[in-house]
């Protein structure tokens, strides 16, 4: 059982629910859906925890399927090796946030729809830069993410991710960037 499932079961127990009885069973479709949503949100939070690190390329790539497609503002990488190379290249860029100060990404407004062993997810992301410990944090960049996920060997993995900047677009994306206001990951 993964950490997310344990957290949900603990919350149910504290609320006085028996997660193994009646409609509270983990096998119940409603609870299975809830556990999957928590697992997906936990996975994404762990993924985003890698931002601001200078050596996390392989960590990022570990969240993807072998045939994954990763589209960041029109720069497309296919497969974990290419995704790791993308993150290595991005981290080596002089504009990389991790080279500017302490950088964190915040994900918010999750919309997660689970259908058996597949799911879609949408998030807003906001990059926050901290130049100095005395200074106030600065909003560095902001945008949206759209994901197509699959369950493999009991774990959720990203099959397709599309990242679209809405502000703070780095120079390296200007040639490939296309505004996509109403993007639908399931339409591809």
Percent with pLDDT over 70 in the chain: 75
CA dihedral 28, 31, 36, 42 (to 10 degrees): -150
3-state secondary structure the chain: CCHHHHHHHHHHHHCCCCCCCHHHCCCCHHHHHHHHHHHHHHHHHHHHCCCCCCCCHHHHHCCEEEEEEEEECCEEEECHHHHHHHHHHHHHCCCCHHHCCEEEEEEEEEEEEEECCEEEEEEEEEEEEECCCCCCCEEEEEEEEEEEEEEECCEEEEEEEEEEEEECCCHHHCCCCCCCCCCCHHHC
State both tokens at 48. 């985003």
What local confidence, expressed as pLDDT, does residue 100 receive? Answer: 67
Kindly report the CATH number assigned to the domain that includes residue 56.
3.10.450.50
Name the band, by pLDDT with cuts 50, 70 and 90, for residue 19: very low
Q: Structurally, how many domains does the chain consist of?
A: 1
Name the band, by pLDDT with cuts 50, 70 and 90, for residue 171: confident
Query: 100 versus 138: which is more confidently predicted?
Result: 138
Name the band, by pLDDT with cuts 50, 70 and 90, for residue 21: very low
In angstroms and rounded to an integer, the radius of gyration of the C-alpha atoms of the chain is 18
Domain that holds residue 27: 3-187
Q: What's the number of CA atoms in the CB half-sphere (13 Å) around residue 20?
A: 2
What local confidence, expressed as pLDDT, does residue 186 receive? Answer: 86
What local confidence, expressed as pLDDT, does residue 5 receive? Answer: 57
Question: Considering only 14-28, 59-73, 82-96, which range has the smallest mean pLDDT?
Answer: 14-28
Question: Considering only 23-37, 131-145, 149-163, which range has the smallest mean pLDDT?
Answer: 23-37
Name the band, by pLDDT with cuts 50, 70 and 90, for residue 22: very low
- Given a cut of 60, whether residue 36 has pLDDT beyond it is yes
Could you give the CA distance from residue 154 to residue 75 in angstroms, rounded to a whole number? 30
Whole-prediction pTM value? Answer: 0.78
Is the Cα dihedral 1, 185, 29, 151 positive or negative? negative
């Amino acid at each position: 059982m993964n950490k997310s499932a344990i957290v949900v079961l603990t919350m149910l127990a504290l609320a006085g629910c028996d997660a193994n009885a009646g409609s509270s069973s983990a096998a119940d479709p409603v609870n299975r859906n809830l556990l999957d949503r928590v697992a997906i949100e936990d996975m994404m939070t762990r993924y985003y925890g890698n931002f601001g690190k200078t050596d996390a390329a392989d960590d990022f790539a570990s969240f993807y399927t072998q045939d994954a497609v990763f589209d960041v503002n029109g720069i497309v990488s296919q497969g974990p090796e290419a995704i790791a190379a993308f993150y290595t290249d991005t981290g080596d860029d002089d504009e990389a946030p991790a080279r500017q100060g302490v950088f964190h990404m915040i994900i918010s407004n999750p919309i997660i729809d689970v259908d058996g062993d597949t799911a879609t997810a949408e998030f807003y992301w906001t990059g926050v830069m901290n130049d100095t410990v005395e200074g106030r944090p600065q909003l560095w960049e902001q945008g949206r993410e759209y994901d197509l996920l699959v369950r493999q060997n009991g774990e959720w993995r990203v099959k397709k991710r599309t990242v679209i900047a809405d502000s703070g677009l780095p120079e390296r994306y200007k040639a490939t960037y296309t505004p996509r206001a109403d993007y639908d990951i399931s339409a591809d």
